[in-house]
Structure 1
Amino acid sequence: MSYSQFSLPRVIQDFNLTLVEGGSFLPLMETDVTAPPYLLEFLQRHLQLAIALNTEKARSELIICPLLLAVKEALQNQISLFSGEDFNVDAEAGLTGVCDFILSLSPEQLFVKAPVAVVVEAKKEDLKGGLGQCVAEMVAAWKFNQAANNTINTIYGTVTTGTVWRFLRLQDSTITIDLTEYPLPPIEPILRRLVYMVSCP
């Protein structure tokens, strides 16, 4: 079994999680995070192409990855970004497979080093269908951190098509899903949320 085989009901049951559905749990940042000019120009040039191609790969390469690179830059490269990384944490529990994107609270870039703070799951269209997989990856991140004796209170996740984003939070054994679907553009609201998620685990 792998992350992609988890439905939301199954991951809630298998890991004895409490599900909370609600509004935004990400406060507005006190300091503005602005999109760098190169990101604005890149998305202006390539956003429509990513939408037209309409594959997870195109959306990942042309929208999601450039945005996550801007998050890394906004935090002075003190975090690491991994794309398409094998993240095999607990085979018996089914917590194995490839994560689309991982943000870790370490500048080490050659391998995933605890603590993992955010997982990003790219989906072509079906955000709801990606929730179970994203939650499973968040549980794996929590276990990964625990095994490395790096205890952080919160793991964040997001399921996105690149142009629509939905955010999740795992705290203790409670998974909270923001039912709001946030569009991109505009870029800054998504960028600020992502920076907050990495800054305040």
Structure 2
Amino acid sequence: MAFTSYKHLEMLVKAFQLTYQEHDFIVESHLPLNNYFKQRFQIILREGVVDNSESAICENLIAPILTEAWYNYKDNFLLWSHQTLIYDEDLSGIPDYILAQKSPLGKIVFDKPFLAAMEAKKDDFTSGWGQCGAEMVACQKINQVEGQTIFGMVSNGKMWEFAKLTDNLFIKNIKSYRISDLEELFGAVHYIFQQCQLQL
């Protein structure tokens, strides 16, 4: 089954015998946003066509924020966009974004460990989490590191939700983040990247 075959988290939880919980685990990091980035991003929000499709959401709303956070971790990670990820026939597909450790072989090598998956969905968080959750399980199974935490993000561009998977425990953060509070959202994304780095 492709990642997109998992239409909701219940389907995923049953298929892989996960335990599902909800509580807030994100501790927002207060890393100042670059003023140029903030100004340019506000212009894009105000003047651009940013959410007419999932591709537009990826390019205009999600990628800039992920890339801005990634700059702080570029020595250790690569942020991959729309790269095929395959564990087996039940877990395969193309995540919108994957955060992976930089390979010693160079930036053209897509290799484990994969530590975070991100999915853009145009106002369909239910199927977004089914798909992103499947990507998180695939990352976990490919990495084969007991106790390692895989993070997930689903966004429609304006609203962002977060989750983590450790062994068979899937925890969804209760609090959602809005692009209208860019500093707070960036703090949450930065926290995810920071936690990924701590696992290297």
Q: TM-score, normalised by structure 1?
A: 0.88
1:197 and 1:66 mapped to 2: Cα distance?
Answer: 16
2:53 aligned with 1:55 = yes
Q: Distance in 2 between matches of 1:188 and 1:157?
A: 20
Q: Deviations over 1:149-184 (max 9, x none)?
A: x55621000100111001111011010112322101
1:87-125 C-alpha deviation (Å, 9 max, x unpaired): 11111xx10110000011326431322111111000111
Amino acid paired to 1:44 = Q
Unpaired runs of 5+ in structure 2? none
1:95 aligned residue (83, 91, 98): 91
CA distance in 1, matches of 2:26, 2:121: 22
Q: Is the 8 A contact 1:78 1:106 kept in 2?
A: yes
CA deviations on 1:51-80 (whole Å, 9 max, x unpaired) are: 4x4211111101111111111112244310
Identity %: 29
Q: For residue 10 of structure 1, what is the aligned residue in structure 2?
A: 11
Say if 2:146 and 2:167, in contact at 8 Å, map to a contact too: no
1:192 paired residue among 165, 177, 187:
187
Pairwise CA RMSD:
1.7
Note the C-alpha offset of 1:185: 2.3
Contact 1:157 1:169 (C-alpha < 8 Å) held by counterparts:
yes
Kindly state the Cα deviation for residue 84 of structure 1 after the two structures are TM-superposed: 0.7
Q: What is the aligned partner in structure 2 of residue 39 from structure 1?
A: 37
Q: TM-score, normalised by structure 2?
A: 0.88
Contact 1:117 1:197 in 2 (8 A): no
Corresponding residue for 1:106?
Answer: 102
What are the ranges of 5 or more consecutive residues in structure 1 without an aligned counterpart? Answer: none
Query: Distance between the aligned counterparts of 1:187 and 1:199, measured in 2?
Result: 18
Q: Contact 1:81–1:109 at 8 Å: present in 2 too?
A: no
Query: Conserved in 1, the CA contact under 8 Å of 2:75 and 2:102?
Result: no
1:158 corresponds, among 150, 153, 159, to: 153
CA 1:50–1:155 in structure 2 vs 1: closer, same or farther (change >3 Å)? farther
